[in-house]
């Protein structure tokens, strides 16, 4: 055979081999690139992460909560996260470390903070290897109110959360015991945080807990009663004690018989038997319907990672029961049965009533800025739904003012400012301890802040333990 | 004659510009200011290439116009990539580049007539054998293979030069015997077999490849040599059956040694399952190949940009042997799939010109020499790129002209010189010098 013919064939052989090389290059750089990037053996994505600074996280006044500090120089420079306020903002802000991953706002807004959301805007940018641009985040968090809330809890396990009813901004988010995100960096510190001596510290009581709401839930029942048209604030219901519901007796606090009283008075004095009857008259469907409108049965739409927020509703063995599970509606109406809530949900209830019945999406982040301080993005007020009518909301507002002015919530009262609220005391551990609650808002005639306070395993009542904390926080915010 | 040389000259200018741009990109990525240095590097590169070009103008006026510019482009890309990995290594690489050009010039001066190589084939073959065995005697182990001879400050990898010597020997041998092998072949069970007399040398070459595998522990070179031999055997005889028999013998030998020699077996395991954590963390395991894959994934379609690959972090390597074995992974990481394809096309252009040269040559030895040199060159690209992209097990050979390594640069410039000498002779106008 002619040698040239063989040489030509040899060339085609080489072309075939090179095509194989091109195909396999495409396999790793294109087809399977995502899977390789996610492989746990692959440290490149994580190492890339720390070679660029993350944007700072700031309080509403612009004080630093989290910032990136540079270590090393030149090509080997890396950035590491520092949290100058330590434990104060540990829970809502979370942490971001290559070894540990990220939590809280650090995780939820990772795209903006790392600037990765903007990567590869154009082919030109990527050809030039243009670096991504991190954004700083201004939060709604108020350092002094946050400090006040932490001090007011005074080491007792519990939570305080404040929502601005009209905008949904969250100026206060405290969970005690908290943690210092700086401790997460080192192995010893991280192990200590996880070991769980005493109350768990990484657990966020504001949004992950499942507490019995006690009488604070009567606000939801009252909202359903008024908005459905079944009741007015002046409607008369018999408040004798005990009364039988679902074959079991229900008693008022101190087994007091109140006789025929108005709904307003029944809220002021937290009369169980009245609200049990209201619940029975409204029925399962109506109660569940209003609960869902307030946000129960779904995760609160707050700007935190999915796994850090829990839904409120009836639970059994830790699992949320479907909304068509048969319930003891009279006991649900007074916040008993298997009902569990997060403080975030109860603050949302208070905020909704305060905002004329309109529920707004709560959010911690407020604004994002680029390196030069230009505003890149503002978190908008997002109205979720009209939960109850304005009239019903106004009536309930008035009723909740009476609770503070004349009833169980007196300790939340402020000089010169009308406060509306509702207390709650749920027995836990078989009656050995109480879950103390206060939810409310202030100023009542022009609501700026709605609050939920809870203290777990206390011997006190909502009115004696939780209400004073709400008062301190309101004072700090309204100053 | 001058038109080919002028095309060559105009090919060199954009290459020098590209090299300058490459240096500039690396410097930008280092946050350094772009200063005159990038242009100086580019200019120095251009001047060196021009000196080589002048040699060609005088000594090889009719030679192929593309071989030299493509080699220069590859070498330029190599210097930029190595510079990006370690400026100190790039300085050494640049010195080797100068030495390579000197070797290129020397070869064109000394080898006016290729028949010298044909005549001294046995001396050359013996020299190649000696070169290959030396590291086993004197040298150190690199990645479990005996690859280099330490000559004071210079570490020399003889396999690079040996590949040329082996091709010369086989080409000379087959140029003589190809007629006989085809004429006296027998058919057994429908398969053409060469006569036993000529089957012997084939066995010798096979044994030689196996020896490389076992004693030198250099699978890459073994594949390269034996593959080059089979390519030559095919072109010389036109018998695909010989290639099939040869391949079968090689695979059989490989499988036998894979089972018996630990060094070979470990590489195959790492190749088959590089993302297995046990193999990944094992010494001599799949860490290197897996990291090469991660680097390619990091590059994606368009790459991270020159100087943007993550090679070390806090002093510990993220991509080991980046400047030698894994330099292709760095290319994919920084220039992306697109840049890697461009590099492969450059190599393919070189192969095309090399084989074109072989087709134009009329003398059988020159024809086979050009074929063999090109085939070995192409196979070397395939072995290392195929290793990094997991087409075949990863073995340490250099990526011609691009990887850091002095012996590789020098040997490949000699290879280009030989190809161009063949080309010059083949394209020389017939009436040159008049008629007697």
Let me know if residue B206 belongs to a domain. yes
Q: Is B348 on the interface with A (CB under 8 A)?
A: yes
Among left, alpha and beta (phi > 0; psi -120 to 50; other), residue A174 is: beta
Whether residue A129 and residue B29 make contact (CB cut-off 8 A), yes or no, is yes
Which of A1, A6, A16 to probe the B interface (max B CBs under 10 A)?
A6
Give the C-alpha separation, B173 to B39, whole Å. 48
Task: Give A-chain residues touching B381 at CB under 8 angstroms.
Answer: 18, 21
Tokens 């070979």, located at residue: B264
* pLDDT tens readout for residues A143-196: 999 999 999 999 899 999 999 999 999 999 999 999 999 999 888 888 888 876
Identify the pLDDT of residue B145. 57
Which residues from A are below 8 Å from B340, CB to CB?
22, 25, 29
**Digit-coded pLDDT (tens) for B223-246:** 888 888 899 989 998 888 888 888
Round to whole Å and give the CA distance between B56 and B74. 18
The angle subtended at Cα B269 by Cα B266 and Cα B271, nearest 5°, is 110
Contact B300 A30 (CB under 8 A): yes
Spatial CA neighbour of B69 closest among B8, B19, B14, B6: B8
3-state SS class at A423: strand
Alpha carbons A309 and A292: distance in angstroms, whole number: 16
Look at residue B433 in the predicted model and tell me its pLDDT.
46
How many CB atoms are closer than 10 A to CB B415?
27
Is B372 within 8 Å of B170 (Cβ atoms)? yes
How confident is the model over A232-286, as pLDDT tens digits?
A: 999 999 999 899 999 999 999 989 999 999 999 999 999 999 999 999 999 999 9
**Chain A interface includes B341 (CB < 8 A):** yes
Q: How far is CA A136 from CA A68, A375, B277, in A?
A: 11, 10, 38
Note whether B162 contacts A: Cβ–Cβ < 8 A: no
Tell me the pairing of strands A96-97 and A383-386.
unpaired
Strands (E), A36-106: 57-58, 64-71, 78-82, 96-97, 101-102
Q: Give residue A455's pLDDT.
A: 96
Location of structure tokens 């089979």: B230
- Beta-bridged to residue A175, according to DSSP, are A159
Residue by residue, what is the 3-state secondary structure of A177-188?
CCCCCHHHHCHH
Please indicate if any CB of chain B lies within 8 Å of the CB of A20.
yes
Tokens of B178: 């190809």
CB-closest option in A13, A37, A48 to B310: A48
Q: How sure is the predictor about A421, in pLDDT bands with cuts at 50, 70 and 90?
A: very high
Q: How many Å from the N-terminal Cα to the C-terminal Cα in chain A?
A: 100
- Nearest by CB to residue A44, choosing from B310, B315, B391, is B310
Best A2, A9, A11 member to test B by mutation, with max B CBs in 10 Å, is A11
Percent of chain A that is helix, strand, coil (3-state, to 5) = 40, 20, 35
Q: Which residues of B193-217 are buried (b: 16+ CB within 10 A; e: fewer)?
A: bbeeebeebbeebbebbbebbbebb
pLDDT-above-90 percentage for chain A:
71
Across the interface, whether the CB atoms of B296 and A25 are under 8 A apart is answered yes
> In chain A, positions 23-62, which contact chain B (CB-CB < 8 Å)?
24-30, 32-34, 36-37, 39, 41-45, 47-48, 51
Domain A143-196+203-364+381-478 has what CATH class?
alpha beta
How buried is B326 (Cβ within 10 angstroms: 0-12 exposed, 13-18 middle, 19+ buried)?
Answer: buried
Contact between B156 and B406 (Cβ < 8 Å): yes
Q: What is the mean pLDDT of chain B?
A: 83
The pLDDT score that the predictor gives to residue A103 is: 93
CA distances from B187 to A58, A204, B183 (A): 85, 83, 12
Instruction: Express each pLDDT in A41-64 by its tens digit.
Output: 888 887 877 778 899 999 999 999
Give buried/exposed letters for B40-77 (b at 16+ CB in 10 A, else e): ebbeebbebbeebbebbbebbebbbbbbbbbbbbbbbb
Token pair belonging to B22:
């490459």
End-to-end CA distance of chain B: 23
Tokens of B386: 């195929």
Question: Is there a domain that residue B57 lies in?
Answer: yes
Choose the closest CB to A47 out of B29, B302, B310.
Answer: B310
The confidence band for A401, taking pLDDT boundaries of 50, 70 and 90, is very high
Q: What would the two tokens of residue B419 be?
A: 């190809």
In this prediction, residue A405 carries a pLDDT of: 93
Q: Does A91 score more than 60 pLDDT?
A: yes
Is the pLDDT reported for residue A389 higher than 90? Answer: yes
CA angle centred on A180, ends A174 and A182, rounded to 5°: 145
DSSP secondary structure code for residue A31 in this structure: I
How far is B336 from B353, CA to CA, in rounded Å? 26
Closest CA to B17 of B37, B43, B35: B43
Assigned domain for B433 exists: no
**Helix A44-51 to helix B287-299 angle, to the nearest 10 degrees?**
50
Chain A environment of B348 (Cβ under 8 Å): 14-15, 18
Q: A398-402, B29-33, B281-285: which has the highest mean pLDDT? A: A398-402
Query: Domain range holding B175?
Result: 2-427
- Which of A112-116, B67-71, B115-119, B159-163 has the largest mean confidence? B67-71
Place of tokens 């903070």: A113
The correct CATH number of A44-126 out of 3.40.50.970, 3.40.50.1820, 3.90.1310.10, 1.10.3720.10 is 3.90.1310.10
Q: Across the interface, do B296 and A10 touch by the CB < 8 Å criterion?
A: no
Q: Check A3 against B364: CB less than 8 A apart.
A: yes
CB contact, 8 Å: B277 with chain A?
yes
Cα angle, residue A436 at apex, residues A435 and A438 outer, rounded to 5°: 140
The pLDDT > 70 percentage for chain B reads 83
Is residue B434 assigned to a domain? no
Pairing of strands A313-316, A339-340: antiparallel
Q: Residue B370 and residue B382: Cα distance in Å, rounded? A: 18
CA B309, CA B292: separation in Å to the nearest integer? 12
Please state the domain extents for chain A.
Answer: 44-126, 143-196+203-364+381-478
Give the distance, in angstroms, between the CA of residue A81 and the centroid of all CA atoms in the same chain: 23
A1 vs B238, B300, B348: nearest CB:
B238
pLDDT category at B436 given cuts 50, 70, 90 is very low
Enumerate the β-bridge partners of residue A261. Answer: A237
Q: How confident is the model at residue A291 (pLDDT cuts 50, 70, 90)?
A: very high
pLDDT tens column, B333-381: 999 999 999 999 999 999 999 999 999 998 999 999 999 999 999 999 9
Cβ–Cβ < 8 Å for B370, B358: yes
Number of domains in chain B: 1
Are A241 and A257 contacting, i.e. CB atoms less than 8 angstroms apart?
yes
């Amino acid at each position: 055979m002619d040698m040239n013919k063989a040489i030509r064939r040899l060339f085609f052989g080489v072309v075939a081999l090179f095509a194989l090389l091109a195909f396999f290059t495409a396999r790793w750089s294109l087809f399977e690139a995502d899977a390789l990037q996610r492989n746990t053996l692959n440290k490149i994505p994580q190492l890339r992460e720390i070679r660029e600074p993350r944007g700072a996280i700031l309080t509403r006044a612009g004080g630093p909560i989290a910032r990136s500090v540079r270590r090393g120089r030149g090509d080997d420079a890396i950035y590491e996260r520092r949290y100058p306020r330590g434990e104060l903002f540990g829970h809502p802000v979370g942490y971001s470390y290559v070894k540990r991953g990220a939590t809280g706002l650090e995780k939820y807004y990772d795209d903006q903070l790392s600037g990765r959301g903007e990567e590869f805007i154009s082919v030109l940018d990527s050809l030039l290897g243009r670096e991504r641009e991190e954004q700083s985040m201004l939060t709604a968090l108020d350092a002094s109110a946050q400090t006040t809330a932490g001090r007011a809890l005074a080491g007792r396990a519990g939570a305080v959360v404040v929502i601005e009813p009209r905008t949904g901004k969250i100026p206060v988010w405290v969970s005690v015991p908290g943690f210092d995100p700086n401790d997460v960096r080192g192995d010893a510190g991280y192990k200590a945080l996880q070991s769980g001596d005493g109350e768990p510290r990484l657990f966020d009581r504001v949004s992950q807990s499942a507490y019995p709401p006690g009488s604070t839930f009567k606000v939801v029942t009252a909202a359903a009663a008024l908005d459905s048209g079944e009741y007015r604030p002046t409607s008369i219901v018999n408040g004798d004690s005990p009364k039988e519901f679902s074959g079991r007796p229900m008693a008022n606090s101190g087994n007091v018989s109140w006789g025929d009283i108005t709904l307003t008075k029944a809220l002021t004095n937290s009369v169980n038997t009245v609200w049990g009857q209201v619940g029975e008259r409204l029925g399962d469907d109506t109660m569940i319907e209003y609960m869902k409108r307030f946000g129960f049965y779904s995760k609160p739409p707050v700007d935190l990672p999915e796994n850090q927020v829990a839904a409120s509703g009836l639970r059994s063995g830790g699992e949320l029961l479907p909304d068509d599970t048969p319930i003891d509606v009279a006991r649900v109406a007074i916040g008993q049965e298997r009902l569990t809530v997060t403080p975030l949900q109860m603050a949302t209830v208070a905020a909704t009533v305060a905002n004329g019945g309109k529920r707004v999406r709560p959010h911690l982040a407020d604004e994002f800025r680029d390196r030069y301080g230009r505003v890149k993005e503002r978190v908008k007020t997002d109205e979720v739904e009209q939960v109850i009518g304005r009239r019903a909301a106004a009536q309930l507002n008035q009723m909740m003012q009476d609770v503070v002015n004349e009833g169980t919530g007196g300790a939340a009262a402020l000089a010169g400012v009308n406060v509306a609220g509702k207390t709650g005391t749920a027995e836990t551990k078989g009656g050995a301890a109480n879950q103390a609650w206060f939810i409310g808002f202030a100023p009542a005639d022009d609501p700026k802040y709605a609050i939920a306070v809870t203290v777990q395993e206390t011997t006190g009542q909502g009115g004696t333990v939780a209400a004073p904390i709400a008062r301190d926080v309101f004072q700090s915010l309204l100053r | 004659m001058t038109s080919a040389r002028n095309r060559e000259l105009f090919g060199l200018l954009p290459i020098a510009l590209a090299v300058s741009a490459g240096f500039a990109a690396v410097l930008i990525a280092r946050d350094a200011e772009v200063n005159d240095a990038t242009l100086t590097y580019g200019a120095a590169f251009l001047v060196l290439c021009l000196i080589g070009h002048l040699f060609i103008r005088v000594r090889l006026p009719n030679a192929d116009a593309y071989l030299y510019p493509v080699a220069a482009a590859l070498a330029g890309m190599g210097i930029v990539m190595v510079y990006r990995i370690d400026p100190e290594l790039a300085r050494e690489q640049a010195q080797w580049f100068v030495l390579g050009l000197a070797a290129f010039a020397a070869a064109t001066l000394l080898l006016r007539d290729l028949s010298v190589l044909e005549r001294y084939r046995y001396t050359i073959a013996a020299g190649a054998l000696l070169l290959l065995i030396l590291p086993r005697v004197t040298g150190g182990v690199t990645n479990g293979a005996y690859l280099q001879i330490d000559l004071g400050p210079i570490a020399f990898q003889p396999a690079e030069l040996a590949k040329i010597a082996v091709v010369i020997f086989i080409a000379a041998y087959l140029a003589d015997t190809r007629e006989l092998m085809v004429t006296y072949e027998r058919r057994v069970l429908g398969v053409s077999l060469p006569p036993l007399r000529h089957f012997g040398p084939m066995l010798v070459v096979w044994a030689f490849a196996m020896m490389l595998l076992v004693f030198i522990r250099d699978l890459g070179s073994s594949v390269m040599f034996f593959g080059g031999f089979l390519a030559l055997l095919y072109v010389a005889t036109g018998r695909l059956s010989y290639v099939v028999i040869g391949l079968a013998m090689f695979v059989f030998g490989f499988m036998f040694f894979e089972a018996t020699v630990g060094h070979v077996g470990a590489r195959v395991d790492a190749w088959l399952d590089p993302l297995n954590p046990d193999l990944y963390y094992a010494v001599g395991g799949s860490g290197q190949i897996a990291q090469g894959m991660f680097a390619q994934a990091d590059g994606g379609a368009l790459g991270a940009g020159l100087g943007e690959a993550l090679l070390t972090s806090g002093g510990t390597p993220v991509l080991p042997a980046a400047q030698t074995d894994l330099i292709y992974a760095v290319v994919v990481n920084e220039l992306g799939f697109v840049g890697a394809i461009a590099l492969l096309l450059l190599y393919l252009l070189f192969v095309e010109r090399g084989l074109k040269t072989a087709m134009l040559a009329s003398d059988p030895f020159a024809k086979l020499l050009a074929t063999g040199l090109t085939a070995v060159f192409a196979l070397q690209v395939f072995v290392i790129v195929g290793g990094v992209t997991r087409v075949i097990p990863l073995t340490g050979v250099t990526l011609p002209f691009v990887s850091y390594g002095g012996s590789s640069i020098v040997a490949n410039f000699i290879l280009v010189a030989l190809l161009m000498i063949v080309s010059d002779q083949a394209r020389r106008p017939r009436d040159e010098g008049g008629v007697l």
